[in-house]
Structure 1
Amino acid sequence: MIRKSEYPRYLQLLKRRPEFSAFTAEQFAELAHVMRVKQLPKGQLLFDQADPRDRFFFVFSGLLRTERIDESGDFTFYSFIPKDKGFPYRGLFHDQEYAYSVNTLTPVEIVSFPMTVFEGLLTENSEVMRRVIVEMGQIINENENQLQTMVTSSASDRVHNALKILSQQMGQPLDDGRILIPYPITLIELSRMAGTTRETAGQVVQRLETAGRVVYEHKRFTFNPYIE
């Protein structure tokens, strides 16, 4: 449980983020009045697909997974939300329900605001609106690239492509040129993202390790230095 006396520290962290830094002092005061900060354990559902879309979130630490099921129930789209990211940007000023469900894959610290307040402040501040549009564009590009690269009949290729996507979206460069994903990603999560079995995902990872392209230790991937 985060005490309200600690909220100013989280507000200062938000002020450093590009999407929030252009809010005025008065607008930050309004956000501070309605904000909530929570610590959530691993494996908790934050909200479900089609729940009322009533709050906007920002991740201070940890990793979350989004899951969207299409109307037929035959296709599921997975993506991840690491720290220093806000969500949901999808459906701003339009949607009444969340378009996907969100679960915590690690313990997380997260702040949230009423969606009506956040959207209202966006309409008052054109610079923040511009930055949010830029962020939305980047998310759209990432999702489109993921869909395009994952459309293949080969399960092994899908696992391979899923690893490339994880490296591009969440990888952190190390001093020796390698790329580290600083979150635990299980083979089950990788297989879900690739739409295949845990066994197939494990076989692909093992082949990449043997080839010296990937190190997988303690559920963390390190790429050496990239996957082709």
Structure 2
Amino acid sequence: MIIRKNEYPQYLQLLKKNPEFKDFTSEEFAVIQAKMRVRSYPKGQLLFNQADPRANFYFLAKGLLKTERTDESGNEFFYEFINETKGFPYRGMFHDHDYSYSVTGMTATEIISIPMADFESLLLKNKKMMRNVILEMGQIINENENQLQLMVNSSASSRVRNGLKVLGQSIGKPGADGTRLIPYPITLIELSQISGTTRETASQVVKELVAGGQITYERKYFTLLNN
């Protein structure tokens, strides 16, 4: 659903408060406001597919997205989550002509889009913003490397445990009592995909962790407990 333009000022303020956008000038934000579009999408909506033309840069105003990539053999695998108030895709900036992964909504979402050519043109004129982009890309690389280290394990049960740890680190919200709530519903099938194993294995490991007092899993919401 298209968000009406009279609501755009609130979304522009969201961009201005975000570290990824804060160093654009007033004139540059005026360009962004003129070029940007805001839409809401239902859960499960495919935003773009791998190999689609890289037409837009996006900013997730509300919700949660997941990215997936298909290898040369046609096998799909989980890539990463995109959190609320994050921009994407940074991969292929100034170079790629197509998107390198597909993006799907894990929840209902609200997304700001800016034509990629306009966004890259603004970056080229603003050294502070270019530095912000480089820092953000470095952070994404670090997070992906840490995730990969956790998930490279021959034991399927260990991958499920580490998959939950990845979820806690990437999208979990800390509680005052040391717990960490994953504030989005995650099915056992999705957990198995993240962990590179079967639903049955994921289900068994989750049951063991619940019985051991390490997590709770209620109505598809995980809470990692402080142990």
Residue 202 of structure 1 aligns to which amino acid in structure 2? S
Residue 213 of structure 1 aligns to which amino acid in structure 2? Q
Once the two structures are TM-superposed, the CA of residue 145 in structure 1 deviates from its matched residue by 1.6
Q: Which residue of structure 2 aligns with residue 154 of structure 1? A: 155
Q: Which residue of structure 2 aligns with residue 220 of structure 1? A: 221
Cα distance in 2 for partners of 1:4, 1:74 equals 40
8 Å Cα contact 2:78-2:193 kept in structure 1: no
For normalisation by structure 2, the TM-score amounts to 0.96
SS at match of 2:57: strand
8 Å Cα contact 1:90-1:99 kept in structure 2: yes
8 Å Cα contact 2:68-2:76 kept in structure 1: no
1:68-92 Cα shifts (integer Å, max 9, x gaps): 1111224623311120111100000
For normalisation by structure 1, the TM-score amounts to 0.96
Cα distance in 1 for partners of 2:100, 2:222 equals 29
Residue 16 of structure 2 aligns to which amino acid in structure 1? K
8 Å Cα contact 2:181-2:222 kept in structure 1: yes
Residue 131 of structure 1 aligns to which amino acid in structure 2? N
Cα distance in 2 for partners of 1:60, 1:14 equals 9
Q: Which residue of structure 1 aligns with residue 171 of structure 2? A: 170
Once the two structures are TM-superposed, the CA of residue 7 in structure 1 deviates from its matched residue by 0.3
Once the two structures are TM-superposed, the CA of residue 147 in structure 1 deviates from its matched residue by 1.8
8 Å Cα contact 1:38-1:109 kept in structure 2: yes
1:154-201 Cα shifts (integer Å, max 9, x gaps): 111111111111111111111211111111111111101111111111
Q: Which residue of structure 1 aligns with residue 18 of structure 2? A: 17
Q: More displaced, 127-136 or 93-102? A: 127-136
Cα distance in 2 for partners of 1:119, 1:74 equals 31
Cα distance in 2 for partners of 1:217, 1:141 equals 31
SS at match of 1:132: helix
Q: Which residue of structure 2 aligns with residue 81 of structure 1? A: 82
Query: What's the Cα RMSD here?
Result: 1.1
Q: Which residue of structure 1 aligns with residue 121 of structure 2? A: 120
Q: Which residue of structure 2 aligns with residue 197 of structure 1? A: 198
1:56-77 Cα shifts (integer Å, max 9, x gaps): 0111111111001111224623
Residue 186 of structure 1 aligns to which amino acid in structure 2? T
Q: Which residue of structure 2 aligns with residue 37 of structure 1? A: 38
Q: What is the aligned residue count?
A: 226
Cα distance in 1 for partners of 2:189, 2:63 equals 18
Q: Which runs of 5+ in 2 are unaligned?
A: none
8 Å Cα contact 1:78-1:192 kept in structure 2: no
Cα distance in 2 for partners of 1:75, 1:171 equals 25
1:14-60 Cα shifts (integer Å, max 9, x gaps): 10000101100000000000101000001111000000001001111
Q: Which residue of structure 1 aligns with residue 108 of structure 2? A: 107
8 Å Cα contact 1:69-1:77 kept in structure 2: no
Cα distance in 2 for partners of 1:177, 1:52 equals 44
Once the two structures are TM-superposed, the CA of residue 144 in structure 1 deviates from its matched residue by 1.4
SS at match of 1:157: helix
Asked if 1:65 corresponds to 2:66, the answer is yes
Once the two structures are TM-superposed, the CA of residue 153 in structure 1 deviates from its matched residue by 1.6
Between the aligned residues of both structures, percent identity stands at 62
Cα distance in 2 for partners of 1:29, 1:185 equals 39
Residue 171 of structure 1 aligns to which amino acid in structure 2? G
